Structure 1
């Protein structure tokens, strides 16, 4: 067990050094949510006031939590491209012949991605405060845990798919084909209560929809609501399945 923790930390240190050498990628990951914040957020006040079906809270307590979930999704869903590049350069092959735990090779990378996403999340929240975002500290901290969990889940899925496909041409349509429906059916931009019945039923099986509901409950200070409970459980389930898939893929591909 000590070796696993040590190997995870060594992998994390290496991956973090690579990220710090190119900090522009951290900034680029913030561009899309910041554009939504600045260009779309101010339009939401009349929408929230006149649209039935939106959860309680003002426009920023409705919109900002959704942006955090979006950041957790898209900030981690495409990290697998870096693994494909490492595979092509022979890095993965060299790591295979090392005594490092195969699970730690995944865990160290995922930990780096979680740290980057949490930093991006804090910057996004700081940028949202001048726009009018107000939320209880406890709710913000719980939301950070949710976003970190999403980052771990989608990073694990991305790495697992990358190691199976070993091709950017195959990985890109797969990840886009998964990420876009999850985003559109999550209720981040529009409430799913406006959708027809079949679309609402489809969104109910989307774990991100429940995650969004949970973070919105946290931002309004309702920490013990049913939405907060089910959203937290859905996120935990997604993290567990994704980590299992990623770890299993690393073990099999490194055998």
Structure 2
């Protein structure tokens, strides 16, 4: 099956490389947050109690990497285009396993996410006061990549179920906006900053715990308190999303 995954990955990577501008288009929003919002966050972190440890860049940068992973559901647009052009149907008649179709496409998205994340990290290191341990950054990237795989799998499954851009776009906006706001990506939602009702609601959001784990890894906090909850939540979500995606690929392409 590894060879089948490689073939699908190589085919999708070839298609992606024909329009490499998409890599930079995908990082425009987090780059703007880094450049335009980061300086505003610096005095807030210094003068407002309730922020997690670290300076503004150690708080914002890993969250922006997670934000790019969160938008992995938009990968489903690629499947809708292949459905419309018949490319997915042509792949369906090949002997490639359906789970290999999913994992090959997800691997291509994960590679793009890795490149985008490295660009953001290099910008934060070169242009701003970002300081983070090497292995903490590596662990934070692994967390973000696993989250990207999770969201891309869910995006592919959702797109295959809906089969319509007109339905897919409003659904993503409805889901991702509250998830983004309640995950504390831009401003951490802590008990010292947020009102009790907002803090309680954010605790229900699983992505909030993943963002917290990514920030903990970035500042070198490898303790159970820093990483355990977010890591467990992410692993469960990843297994469920890949299972759902593979099952949907098999059913919709039967």
> Is the structural similarity TM-score above 0.5?
yes
Distance, in Å, in 1 between the alignment partners of 2:117 and 2:188 is 23
Distance, in Å, in 2 between the alignment partners of 1:43 and 1:198 is 26
- Give, in angstroms, the shift of residue 133 of structure 1: 0.6
Moved more, 83-92 or 222-231: 222-231
Q: Which of 88, 96, 103 is matched with 1:107 structurally?
A: 103
Task: Note if contact 1:217-1:225 (Cα within 8 Å) is conserved in structure 2.
Answer: no
Q: Which runs of 5+ in 1 are unaligned?
A: none
Q: Report the equivalent of 1:159.
A: 156
Q: Report the equivalent of 1:136.
A: 133
Q: Which of 59, 63, 66 is matched with 1:62 structurally?
A: 59
Q: Which runs of 5+ in 2 are unaligned?
A: none
TM-score, scaled to structure 1 = 0.96
- Give, in angstroms, the shift of residue 50 of structure 1: 2.0
Task: Note if contact 1:77-1:175 (Cα within 8 Å) is conserved in structure 2.
Answer: yes
Q: Report the equivalent of 2:180.
A: 183
Distance, in Å, in 2 between the alignment partners of 1:191 and 1:100 is 44
Distance, in Å, in 2 between the alignment partners of 1:197 and 1:228 is 23
Distance, in Å, in 1 between the alignment partners of 2:140 and 2:113 is 12
Q: For 1:1-255, what aligned pairs fall within 5 Å after superposition?
A: 4-74=1-71, 76-129=72-125, 130-193=127-190, 194-255=193-254
SS in structure 1 opposite 2:53?
coil
Change (3 A) 1:5 1:243: same
> Which aligned segments of 4 or more residues in structure 1 are displaced greater than 6 angstroms?
none
- Give, in angstroms, the shift of residue 31 of structure 1: 0.5
Distance, in Å, in 2 between the alignment partners of 1:237 and 1:204 is 17
Distance, in Å, in 1 between the alignment partners of 2:179 and 2:236 is 16
Moved more, 44-53 or 81-90: 44-53
| Count of aligned residue pairs for this structure pair | 251
Distance, in Å, in 2 between the alignment partners of 1:234 and 1:47 is 29
Distance, in Å, in 2 between the alignment partners of 1:170 and 1:248 is 21
- Give, in angstroms, the shift of residue 51 of structure 1: 2.0
- Give, in angstroms, the shift of residue 78 of structure 1: 0.5
Q: What does the per-residue CA deviation read over 1:91-131, in whole Å, with 9 as the maximum and x for residues that have no partner? A: 11111111110111111000000000011101110000121
Distance, in Å, in 2 between the alignment partners of 1:172 and 1:84 is 11
- Computed over aligned residues only, the root mean square deviation of the Cα atoms, in angstroms, reads 1.1
Moved more, 196-205 or 38-47: 196-205
Distance, in Å, in 2 between the alignment partners of 1:172 and 1:52 is 38
Distance, in Å, in 1 between the alignment partners of 2:207 and 2:185 is 9
SS in structure 1 opposite 2:82?
helix
Task: Note if contact 1:7-1:101 (Cα within 8 Å) is conserved in structure 2.
Answer: yes
